[in-house]
Each structure stands twice: as C-alpha cells, then as structure tokens.
Structure 1
Amino acid sequence: MSMRAMNKFKLSAIAVSLIIGLSACDGDNGTDGEIGGQGIAGLEGSDGANGTDGVNGADGANGTDGTDGVNGTDGMNGQSAPVLTRLATVPTGAEVTGAFLTDEGDLFFNVQHPSDANTVTESVNNKPYNKGTVGVLRGVNFNNLPKTIVNSPVPESENERQVVVSALGEYQIIGQTNDTFADLGDAGLAGGLGVHYGIVSGDKIIENNAPDFNGYVSTGTGEGYLFTNWEAYPGGVSRMKIQKDETGNWSVSEAMMVNFDSVGGTAANCFGSVSPWGTPLSSEEWIVNSTVDSTTDASWNDPANTGTDGIEALTAPDFPNPYRYGYTVEITGATSAAPVPVKHFTLGRYEHENSTVMPDRKTVYSSQDDTGGVLFKFVADAAEDLSAGTIYGAKLVQDAGSTEPATTGFDVSWVELASGNNAMIETWISQYDGIDTSDYVDGQTSYMTLADVQAWANGDATYPTVANGGSAITAGQPMDDRAAFLESRQAAKMKGATAEWRKLEGISINHDRALEAVGGVESIAEEDVKAAYLYMGIADLDNTMIDGEGDIQLSSRVKDCGGVYRAKLEENYDLARIEPVVMGGTYRSSLTGALRCDVEQLSQPDNVIVMRDGRIIIGEDGFQENNTLWMYDPKSL
C-alpha cells in the first residue's frame, strides 16, 4: 500500500473510533415526571468512559500497475544537461576565427575583420583592435581547466565592446594585418603580415584583414611555428616563429608569407587543420559556383563578364584556370626555411572549409561551406600520403517523423565517387590552361557542364557532344573520372549523396581521444575514453536544410542561428550516425519584428575544437555586436 493510501486509512480508523467512543461516554437521560401535565426533565447523566478503538479493517487489494512511460533519450555520455560557458567576446564587427589548441594547452584564436572604428587600447597590448588580429589567451592551460568556469560578461560599455574580454587569462596580440616586424631585421616581413602580391607583376594586391585558421607546429617546449590563413581573393598563409617565456608571454622571432607561386597562388584560405604528421592543411573556400544546380560558370571567360574574384590580378597577364582553385593545400616542410605547398586535387574541388585527418593517417573528412553542400570523405591509399586515394560523399537518412533540429539525427552511408591521384587529375586540369576570353562562344562553354557530369554518373562511354549539352574540351571524348574531382558537388549529388547542407563549417576531433576510443591506444591518462566523436559546426540551418525537399527536411526554428552536430567514430574511423549536440534559436524582435539570435545561445557557430577532456570550444561568426568564443560541456557539472 502506498504511504498516501496508508495515511488515508489511518485517518478513517480514527474517525470510526471517535464515533464509537462518543456513543459509549454519554449517560442515559432520567425519566420524565408529570407536573401539571408537563414532564420534568431528568438529570443529565455523567459522561461514560471512552470506548476502546475498533479493530483496523484489513488492507484492500493492491491496484494494478500503471503502464510504463516512454523511455527518455540518453543524456550526453550518460550525464545530465550540457552547459555553454562564454570564454571570451571579440571586438565590434569581428568574427571569432582560428581557434587552435596546442598539445601544451595554449589556445590561439583570431579577431577577423573588426571595425576600423575601434580605437580603444588596453594595458596588455596597447593597440586598438581595428585590423585583423592573431592572438593567444596567455596565462591559462586549457589541458588543466577547472570544472566550473564563470562566464565572461556580455560587453556593455563602449570600452568592453571594442576589446577582447575573456573569462580566463589575458588575450595577447601576436600580430596584426600589415605588421612588418621591422625590429627582427632580415627575419621580419617587409611586405607586411597578411599582404598578398601578384605572382607575375609583383604588385601589392590586398592587405588582408581576415585571419582565419591557426595551426601550430611545435619545435620544442614553448616554441614552434604558427601558421595563419588569410581569407581573401587571392588568399595566403603566414608563418610566424614564436616562443613563450617563463611568464607565459609570447614573442615573434621570425615572420614570412608562404610562397604559393608554384601552385598558381591560392584563393580564400579559410579554416584548416594540422595533420597527425605535422603539416598544416589550408582550405581554399573559393566560390566554385554558388548555384546549387550548376557547374563552373559558363561565363567565366565571357569578355563582357570577367569578374574572377581577384584571381586574375594574381595570375596576370595569364587568364586564370578555375580548376586550379578550390582544394585542400598541404604545406610540407612546415619547419624548413622554404615550406612547399601541395594542392591535393584528390580531396575534390568545392568550397573547402576544412579537412581533418583521422589517427589512421589515411581517412580524411572534409566540409563544404555553401548552400547545398556535401560532407566528403577521402581514404588515402597509403598513410601520410594524400596524393592518391578514393573520394566519397555522405548519404543521409533523416529520423522518421522528426523535424525538430535539436533532436533530429541522420543515419549515414557512403557513396563512392572515384579513385585517383594528383598526377592524373593534374593532366585533366591542364587541359583548361590557356583558355581565355578569345575562346568564349555564346551559348557554349569551355568548362564542364551538368550534362558532362550526368553522363559520367550514368556510366556513359563518352562525353556528350556540344549539341547535346557537353563542353568544348571533352565533347565526344572517352569518359574519365574528372567529374568526381573537378565538379565534386554535382558528381556526389548525381551519384546519390546528400547535397543539402547549408554552410557546413569546421569539423574537428581530439586526436588522442579518437586514437584511444577507436585505435585502442591508451593516450589520455586522466580518463578511460570509450567513445570519441567528430564535431561539426553549422553556421545556419536554412535554405536547402529547411525547404521540405530531399534528404534533409528540418523545421525553421533554428534557422540563421545555427548549431553543432556530432558523429561517433566507429571502427576504421567510419561515421554511421550524425546527431545534434547544441543548437541556437531565434526570437522575434519586439521593436522591428526581425528574427534575432539570443545572446546567451549560439549565433552562427563557425569552427569547433575538441579539448582533451571532451569539452568543445566553439567560435561564432554571427549577428551579435560582439561574437563569442564558447565552451560547451556535454557532461554534467
């Protein structure tokens, strides 16, 4: 019997006993006499003794059991609700970019294109944040953080809005756009940090205000080379040799811009990673074509429309070959006097956000930052060699009957596109060298068409003729696999992969956690890691993710605020399931009616970093006046 029922029963027994007792204690009234025809009341008897309590009745039969409730969803790692902590905010106008955590626990991140109206300086740096800025949170070891961290405040004063405000340590500026490091003499950078020059002309093209990815290659305790992407058209990568003294302060002893002349320059170097063998992987997020259902624009060499995103300035007087841009670039010889860049055509051509190599040193996952993008996988033929292998596209199956972004996941299978090597793909690319405006024919194209890609996907023996929608270069020629590597999105889509992601941004693992969970190699002393995940930032869940068509059909609740997904690393570092981790959310402004992202939630997460203890660092590229560097804890506090 339940406690509540037992209490009710006891109250009933007491009431019965009270009634019995009251009946037993009243004396009999005396008989009435007769005087004058009226009775005389008898004397009231004295109270009788209280009666004894009645015996409790027997318990009633137990009621039938209720039906079991629906099982709740598993918590993250079997723990309770996750937590977002604001680690830092960046100055007005800026994005948080380049988050990189070293093996020693140093966290680098950048202030990308801050407002040039920022004038406030602070005692740490004595410089205003009005140029692209590369820096580090000094004085804190992110491999040894406390469990609970107090949030950095949302900036309120004008001073707070114009500087980096952090919850931990102090943000130290290492370099800013156009810094020459003149005090270093010949080891300085006369051309200026982030400044790009034409390969042929040697003329200055741009002073880049957009530092993005940072990659640190250690050369010893407290010293190494910091590589930074500079995202513009054309793009570039800087390398600074840096050291940390006993007080935690960093200094620069050498600076250079990596020479990309041998690969025809680069375009919009966005995010990236450092391979397990110590080479930076820089991503060209060049706009291959922003139209979902198209290949390279037929008007690329139209003399009436030659806007080629600044690439023509890099390669002038030669007209640029579009198939030479849009790849992952490995910087080999990273610590040598003259690093050598290698464009890996094998990983495909599209708007690369970043490529991340698994601990097997063969499997690579790559994200496409565009509307209607694809999650790609590449498996190299040999470890530590990305020059040959097989490319795949992810096919998603959304959870049945579910559209809520915060709870809807996807089963994943992989569609094989093609195998190839850099040398073979280079021969295909070279066929488009030398094409210029004189080759343009209205209604035709010198570049690959949708009909070309479809013929490849169909398994046709030859390319279609120009009359049947083919391109002039390949018309009627024997079929090959160039479509998979030069027009990778359309190739993946036509083979059945899902081409519906919207701004699939940074993807990240913690190498040691993944190695222990999948490879069985004990590498993290403080924790027995049974499962490891690849995390993916999504800047916004919009357009092709909420259009009610295809493989991804989510609601618009999150929309432009974005979120983070994760995928458990299975045997051989495969991915079979993608699930949401933490999402932003929109609200409607009471003043303007416009949709806004809550300042206490995510606003367009750009890149993610997985810490050694499993917590996640997330950088925003959002709508807030001061974007945030978050830390997300999937475990209980």
Structure 2
Amino acid sequence: MVDLSRRRLMKTSVAAAVGAGAASSGVAAAADADTVGAPSARGSIKRFATTSLGAEVTGPFVFDDGTLLFSHQHPSRDNPGEFSRGGIGYVSGFDFRFDGSNDDFAELPIPTTNEQQSRVRVSDGEYVFLAQQEDEINGGAEQLGVPETPDGVPIDRFAGSRYSEPGYTPDCNQFIPTNEDGTEGLLYTNFETSPGNVTRIPISRTEDGEWEADLENAINLANTEPLRALQGTRINCAGELTPWGTMISSEEEYAHPTVSLTATVSDILEKGTGQGLRGARPFWNRPNPTEIQSAVASYAEADEDFQSWYVQGYWALSGVELLAYYNGAEPVDQRNFDEATAEPDANGTGAEAEGTNTTEPIGEGYPNPYRQGYHVDFRDPAADPPTPVKYYVMGRGAWEMADIVGDRRTVYETSDGDAKGIYKFVADELIDGYDDPMDLSGTLYAPKITNASAAKDRSPANVPLDIEWIELGHATNREVESWIAEYDGITQVDYLETHAETDWRDDLDAAIEEADREVIENGNRNYITDEEIVEWAEQYEERGPEDVDEELRKVPFLETRAAAKEIGASIEFNKAEGVDSVAGAGPGDFVYFGLAEYNDALSDDEGDLRMDRVDGGVVYRGQLKRDYDITRLEPVVVGFDGSDSTEVADQAPLNIDNVYVMNDGRVLCCEDADQLARSFKNDCMWVYQPNVMVDAGAVAVRNGTTGTLDVTASSLPAGFSGARVKLVVSDPEVASIESVSFPEEIALTKRAISDDGSTATLQVTDATETVGQGGRDVTLATLTVRGTGSGTADIDVTVQAMDDEDGDAIDAEGRAGLVVTGPPAVAGGNAPRDLDGDGDYADVNGNGRLDYADVTALFRNFDGDSVRLNKWAYDFNDNGQLDFDDVVDLYEEVN
C-alpha cells in the first residue's frame, strides 16, 4: 500500500453537530445485544410490505399519485401460482400522502402462516402484477427479460454456467412519463443476470386509478443493436432516474475484483505470489471460469505447498460464456444442441441440462471484461430503440446504483460486495450538457475516513464517519473507452496460449492447470498487470494524479477498486448497496447510503474502519454542502445483531439493500435479508420517517459586517404549536448573533441573546395554526450575525422542546449552521489578505506576498466552502460570480 501521509487532502469545512443520538424510536432494543444501538432508528420506521418466500424486495418506485411499484425478484418456485415467478407489480388501493408522516398506513404484522409467507403482503391495498417472467412481449416475438443471440436464439437455450434464469430477477424500475399528467409512460426495468437485460414496457393509468401494461409493445433492450454494439451488459441491478428524464441502469459486475477482500496488488508483489490474494478478474478468460475455485482447492489438495483461498467474485463469472454467445461467439462443445430447432435433443444434455459446461476454449467473440461494470444511461428513452451510453469515466465496479444530485454534475456510487467501497464522480460540466456523451469529462474520487473514533471498536450506531475524497484521476468518456478497446479480441484461447507451455489441443486439462498456476503466481498478462497497477500508485504518490505517465492513466478507471486500495482509500465498506436522495437534491438535502451488512472489513482489526459488528447493516445519510460535497456520514437506521432474540429480530430491519427517497423526505428501505434470528423467512419493505430537522443554514460575511440566516424546520407533518430552540456560536471571536426576527405568521415569539452574542434562545408559538399540517422547510426565525474575525464557526442548534398541533412532542434534532467570515484560511495556516485594499484577497495563502503559490491554493480549493462562501473575496474578474477565469486573472496578476 502506498503511504498517503505526505499527501493529506485539506478538509474544506468545519464539522457539523451530530445532533440527537441514535436513540431507538419505533424499533425494539435488545437487552442482550452485543452492539450498542442495534437495532435503532434516528426517527421512526414501520414495516409496509413482506415478499413471498425466496423473493427480494427490489426496484421501489413511487408515482406522482403516490402509488407504489416494486419488483418480485427470484421467488421460491414452491410458492403458489403467480408468486412462483419473478415479476413487476404495484400496490392497488393505496397511495402515499406525501406529507412526511408514516401515519398514512398501519404497520404490517409479521407473516405467521404458510399462506401469508408464500405471497406478497402489503399494509394497505393489494399487490397486483403488471408483467412476469415468461410473458410474451413485442408481438409475441420475445419473452420478458430474455436476451437472445444475434440470430434470435434465446440465450437460455445454450449450455454454460448461469448467473440466474433470464426473466427471473427483475430489479430496478424507473417510470418515464410520456404525457403531461403522468398517466402514461415507459417503465424501464433491470434484470439481474448475465447477459444482462433492461426491458421497456408502456404502462398507463386507467380512469379508476389502476395501472396496466402494454406487453404487446414491450421490448427487451438487450436485443437491440445499440446495446449489443456495446457488448451488452451484465448483472443489471439498481439504477437512477436522472434529472434529465432518462433511466440509468447500473451493472453489478461482481467478478471485477483483481484482489480478494482486503488484499492489495502490492501485497502480491511483496509476497511474490498471488496465492491467497487474487480475485476473480484474472480468471475472466479462463475456459469455464467459475471452475477456478474448485481448481484452486484441487491444487491445494494435490500440493501441500499450495495455499487454497476464497477467490472473491469467482461465482459471478457465471454467465460469461452466455455473454459471449449473446455477442455472436461460436458456441463450443454443444454436441447435443440441435441448431435447427434451438432446443435440447433427445439426450437432454443441451440447453436446459443443469451443470452442462465445458473447458473447450471459446475463441473469437469472447467479451472484454473492461466493457462491463458501468452505469448505462438510456438516452432518447422513447426512441425505437433508445441510445445506451456507458459512463466509463465514472469508474468500474459492482455498481448497485448511482445517485446524481441536483447540480447534474456530482454522482455518488455504491459498489456491492465485501470491501468494495463508495465513490464519487464530479463532471466538469453538466452531464447532460455535452453534445456528445463520449466527451463527458470529470474526476473520479474514492473516500478516506479520517476520524479516529471510527477505528476504536465502537458501535456504528454512535459514530458518524468523516470523509475526505481522494482524487483517483481525471479523463473523458472517450479516453476511457479507447483504453478499454486495447483489450478487445482477447479470448479463452489467449488464456491458455499466453500462460501455458503445453499445447491445449494436445492436453487441455494440463494446459489449463499450467495456465491457472501461472496466473495465480504472476497475474494474467492478457489484461492490466500487477506491475502497472503498483507503478501507477507509486507515480501517484510521487507526482499526484494529474502527472502519472500517459499509459498508466487508465488504471483508476479500469481497475478502480484495486487502484483505490493502493493509495490508501477506505475501501472497507461492506455491501454498499442503495444510494438515493430526493429528486433534484440540493445543498442541505440528504443522500442516503445503505450498507446491507456491517461486518468483515468494517469490523476487523485493520484499516480506517474497525467498529463493532452489526450483521443487520446500517443506513447512513450525508448532507449535501453548498458545493454538493458530502463530508460526513451519520447512521440513521441500524439493523439488529446476529445475537439478538427472535422477539427483537421479528420487529427490526435487516440487510437493507435498495433505498428510495420519496419527495416528502421519507425513505423506502428494502431488504435482501439473511433472516438470522427471525421467525419468518420473508424479506420486508420498511418506511423510514426521519426526525424533524431544525437547521440554522449558512452565511458568509466580511469581518465587521452582518448577514442573515434562517432557522428552519425540515417538515411538520402533524402541524406545529410551538418550539423552544437554543443556538450557540462555537467561536465568538469569529461571529456573534446580533438580533433575531420572526415570520409574521408566527404571532407569539420570545427571544433572549447573551451579552456577547454567543447564545440565543428562541421560543415561538403558532397560536393561529397558520403553519398547518404538512409544512416543509418552515422558517421559525431569522438570525442576523456579525463577523467579528476571520475563520469559520458553527451555529450549534439544540431543540429543547417542540410540539405538534395536538400538543404531542415532535421528535426533532438540531443541525448546525455555519458562519464564514474573513475570509478564512484556504490552504491551511494564515488567513488570506487584501494586500492593496482593492477588496480582492489575492494573497490567498496569507503569507504576506503575491506569488504562484496563491494561484495554486485558489485552484486546488476552488470548490471548497472557504472559497465558495466568499466569492466576493476571489471574484478577480469582477463579473459577480466565481469561475475559472478568476484563477486565470490571478495568474496574470502574479505574472
């Protein structure tokens, strides 16, 4: 691992207050739990639905009318009737009210009978299928979810390992309206298999409020030429409805790990062997690649000097052969396959035979691993067919999904599996603003957890995570695709002929073993090598990400996880799955991250995260700052422990996978559960209602001048009768509270400000009930603050009391505001200076002189709060805004 101690990134904001602790509300606490706060919720959480046996809750989507839709993924074949097949359905007879309150439904009891456990149950209304596996679509020419070869043969007719049955695993759903009132549109649905698939189904709402599907005009996008031209997709998991009205499908390429679990590539080079360390990717083009795990075990059994290990992601190499056939490769060893009928022959060993697969190598047409594992945007969604665009520049991973926030430039990504991680991408311009999406350019980042408390064996329920984002690299989509193309045309034959001395035509078994052992020891020479990855990291350490050799720039984009590990990023997040925010999320809004399990790399004795286990997982949220950055993740929903009793387990969330933020701020939390101590084996959908947030906002002022910030309540679903709030300035030498005013509609008010302006206590009463139920972002008061020095100060908020219209206490917590004055130090050390009194703070690093270091400091911190909140100090071109021309003007002034 490359030491990052000399390249620490500057934190760009002060820490906000944690607010109220993660006290249980709506979730029972276990008296004998090993981990404090497991289970718990920072707010309330209620069960809305349970699936049938064997089925996951996936693909939640809520229409504008409040109707809930979700997928019924891989159910048990033993369930009765329609519940034995994968499908997509909606809840008839119930609509969410969008008032921010879980009072719009009663909690669904746990399923206790066989009848209850073998069907989909909802709190209110009825789950109705719109489309299911094996349904005929496209005028009878296709089956729902089933990819075909270029010749039109369904892919499940061929021998080869299966990731899952086609059509059996519907996941993400996104609805794109085609009329103004949103009653007609196109439903895009992912299918989690290999080759992957996305279906497009026209659906509409009838006059009586029900939804119906037009399967006659539905299509499998996998079978369209534009997607096949990209070599298709694999394991299409969750996705995103973009701000520009398209669907992004994320490829959960579980087979991408180059190294297993917490190992690094440099560990392999230091050890001199890949035994115990290699992941699945080096075996991508091995004949019958999924057999590598059993092969490793057999080599260890025959050779006492050989070390066996778990090859992370090997099982996800299943379906790679079918992906090859999907792309037109000649099928190998299909001896019992009748090409005339595309059916198994009488011997029964063709298409449908379980376990039929061979090690006969596939030649021309074998897929390139670096073309899988991306986010795919279906542009022109109503076109026939739509245009798929893979965002290669956003990195390669086992992407569960991506969340594009309101600036249309910043993307948060979650990569599913053990020690995979979360990532961030920031585009140089609006993602949808490029005339050609291949010109999309931007920077890829990995996280670094910086607070020491995250590595002290504490409960994740009580420890927020502070994040610095480490730049991995900058490129364009076109550049990354050109690097990927270098590996086109590599086949299973190349695996043998590159790595084995024995001619595979003479002795196939011997050649495979020789090739396996060589790849295990020294890596797969057909793809990016161990040496290239480590050399990239060493140059990164010495020169920075912008100045590595041109031929190594590909490494962080094609080997994202391995590269992030090499430079010390915190790639310990286990099963990072759901990520979502309210549509158009802006500064102050939350992005939610679901970690389905909190164990293994998160709870071991290594790395930046060493906390207590919560096998039931944790949902975090991060608040978007003014520059759409997230610098802290706080736990809001904590699952139960594996040691918890059945009574606790039955009433608490477990392994939350997909998360979906409704437009009233509530969050649908969908399980992919391991059951643990539960009395039932069904997955659940929960609805999380956050506590009311009382937020003091942010303001930037010059020293000696004043500015205002609003104290607001995020939502008041049950109305509002009154509140008492205390506000404290964390550093009175930076700012002070000068006065407080109140909105006219809140008639009864009281205020008390300390003599030094460090504290204000407010009391407000809505005597006329003007605020009313369902209010959102309600202003309670406005503070006038004065800058008294240079720097930053939190406005800490404590909600001492808050009641609804019925006099019942509202669960509320404070969120710190921020005052920036001066302006504050940009690059650490001294505050900036205005050397000539013209109002421009050209001495950015505050060293008393104007030089090139000031230009560098401004450029490197251009998106940070210290600059963004003080644009008046750095608007060198006097156009009233911050832009990169300000950096140019400062450079010209220096020269």
Whether TM exceeds 0.5 here: the answer is: yes
1: CA distance, partners of 2:401 / 2:111: 31
Report how far residue 200 of structure 1 moved: 5.9
Cα distance change of structure 1 residues 306 and 587 upon mapping to structure 2, 3 Å threshold: closer
Cα distance change of structure 1 residues 398 and 178 upon mapping to structure 2, 3 Å threshold: farther
Write out aligned runs for 1:169-208 (5 A): 169-181=125-137, 187-199=138-150, 202-205=153-156, 206-208=165-167
1: CA distance, partners of 2:152 / 2:199: 20
1: CA distance, partners of 2:50 / 2:494: 51
Match of 2:534 in 1: 454
Write out aligned runs for 1:225-624 (5 A): 225-253=186-214, 254-258=217-221, 259=224, 260-290=227-257, 291-292=260-261, 293=263, 294=278, 297-303=281-287, 305=289, 308-316=317-325, 317=329, 318-385=365-432, 387-400=440-453, 401=456, 403-440=458-495, 441=499, 442=515, 443=518, 444=523, 445-459=525-539, 479-512=551-584, 514-515=585-586, 518=587, 531-556=588-613, 558-559=614-615, 561-588=616-643, 598-624=649-675
Asked if the contact 1:136/1:171 (under 8 Å) is kept, the reply is yes
Cα distance change of structure 1 residues 147 and 198 upon mapping to structure 2, 3 Å threshold: same
SS at match of 2:478: helix
Cα distance change of structure 1 residues 157 and 276 upon mapping to structure 2, 3 Å threshold: same
SS at match of 2:229: helix
Cα deviation digits, residues 356-404 of structure 1 (max 9, x gap): 1111111111101021112111111221346321111111124525610
Q: Aligned-residue CA RMSD in angstroms?
A: 2.7
Asked if the contact 1:129/1:163 (under 8 Å) is kept, the reply is yes
Cα deviation digits, residues 429-462 of structure 1 (max 9, x gap): 1111111233231425211133211111211899
Report how far residue 490 of structure 1 moved: 1.2
Cα distance change of structure 1 residues 204 and 147 upon mapping to structure 2, 3 Å threshold: closer
Cα deviation digits, residues 525-549 of structure 1 (max 9, x gap): xxxxxx3110011110111111121
Cα distance change of structure 1 residues 96 and 596 upon mapping to structure 2, 3 Å threshold: farther
Match of 1:67 in 2: none
SS at match of 1:195: coil
SS at match of 1:128: helix
2: CA distance, partners of 1:587 / 1:305: 34
SS at match of 1:197: coil
Asked if the contact 1:76/1:634 (under 8 Å) is kept, the reply is no
Provide the TM-score with structure 1 as the length reference.
0.77
1:311 maps to a residue whose letter is V
2: CA distance, partners of 1:239 / 1:72: 43
Report how far residue 176 of structure 1 moved: 0.6
Match of 1:156 in 2: 112
2:447 maps to a residue whose letter is A
Would you say 1:223 and 2:191 are equivalent positions? no
Report how far residue 342 of structure 1 moved: 1.2
Cα deviation digits, residues 164-189 of structure 1 (max 9, x gap): 111123211111111115xxxxx545
1:452 maps to a residue whose letter is E
Write out aligned runs for 1:34-53 (5 A): none
Write out aligned runs for 1:4-43 (5 A): none
Asked if the contact 2:421/2:574 (under 8 Å) is kept, the reply is no
Match of 1:209 in 2: 168
Asked if the contact 2:532/2:552 (under 8 Å) is kept, the reply is no
2:611 maps to a residue whose letter is L
Cα deviation digits, residues 14-53 of structure 1 (max 9, x gap): xxxxxxxxxxxxxxxxxxxxxxxxxxxxxxxxxxxxxxxx
SS at match of 1:575: coil
2: CA distance, partners of 1:533 / 1:242: 31
2:232 maps to a residue whose letter is G
Match of 1:14 in 2: none
Contiguous gaps of at least 5 residues in structure 1: 1-70, 120-126, 182-186, 463-476, 519-530
Match of 1:50 in 2: none
Report how far residue 201 of structure 1 moved: 6.8
Cα distance change of structure 1 residues 461 and 614 upon mapping to structure 2, 3 Å threshold: closer
SS at match of 2:593: strand
Match of 2:684 in 1: 628
1: CA distance, partners of 2:494 / 2:54: 43
Report how far residue 298 of structure 1 moved: 2.9
Asked if the contact 2:393/2:442 (under 8 Å) is kept, the reply is yes
Cα deviation digits, residues 308-364 of structure 1 (max 9, x gap): 421222223211211111111111111122111111111111111101111111111
2:228 maps to a residue whose letter is D
Q: 2:58 aligned to 97, 100, 111, which one?
A: 97
2: CA distance, partners of 1:481 / 1:596: 53
1: CA distance, partners of 2:151 / 2:551: 35
1:616 maps to a residue whose letter is V
Cα distance change of structure 1 residues 72 and 435 upon mapping to structure 2, 3 Å threshold: closer
Cα distance change of structure 1 residues 574 and 103 upon mapping to structure 2, 3 Å threshold: farther
SS at match of 1:314: helix
Report how far residue 117 of structure 1 moved: 0.7
Match of 1:131 in 2: 85
Asked if the contact 1:178/1:191 (under 8 Å) is kept, the reply is no
SS at match of 2:322: helix
Asked if the contact 2:457/2:612 (under 8 Å) is kept, the reply is no
Asked if the contact 1:372/1:502 (under 8 Å) is kept, the reply is yes
1: CA distance, partners of 2:419 / 2:408: 29
Cα distance change of structure 1 residues 405 and 189 upon mapping to structure 2, 3 Å threshold: farther
Cα distance change of structure 1 residues 399 and 88 upon mapping to structure 2, 3 Å threshold: farther
Q: Which is greater in Rg?
A: 1
Cα distance change of structure 1 residues 103 and 589 upon mapping to structure 2, 3 Å threshold: closer
SS at match of 1:511: coil
Cα distance change of structure 1 residues 397 and 460 upon mapping to structure 2, 3 Å threshold: closer
Cα distance change of structure 1 residues 94 and 207 upon mapping to structure 2, 3 Å threshold: same
2: CA distance, partners of 1:374 / 1:160: 37
Report how far residue 139 of structure 1 moved: 2.9
Match of 1:474 in 2: none
Contiguous gaps of at least 5 residues in structure 2: 1-16, 26-40, 157-164, 264-277, 292-316, 330-364, 500-514, 543-548, 676-680, 692-809, 812-895
Match of 1:521 in 2: none
Match of 2:781 in 1: none
SS at match of 1:586: coil
Asked if the contact 1:597/1:623 (under 8 Å) is kept, the reply is no
**Percent identity (aligned):** 34
Asked if the contact 2:170/2:192 (under 8 Å) is kept, the reply is yes
Match of 1:61 in 2: none
Asked if the contact 1:100/1:107 (under 8 Å) is kept, the reply is yes
2: CA distance, partners of 1:107 / 1:374: 30
Write out aligned runs for 1:68-83 (5 A): 74=20, 82-83=43-44
Report how far residue 597 of structure 1 moved: 7.7
1:508 maps to a residue whose letter is D
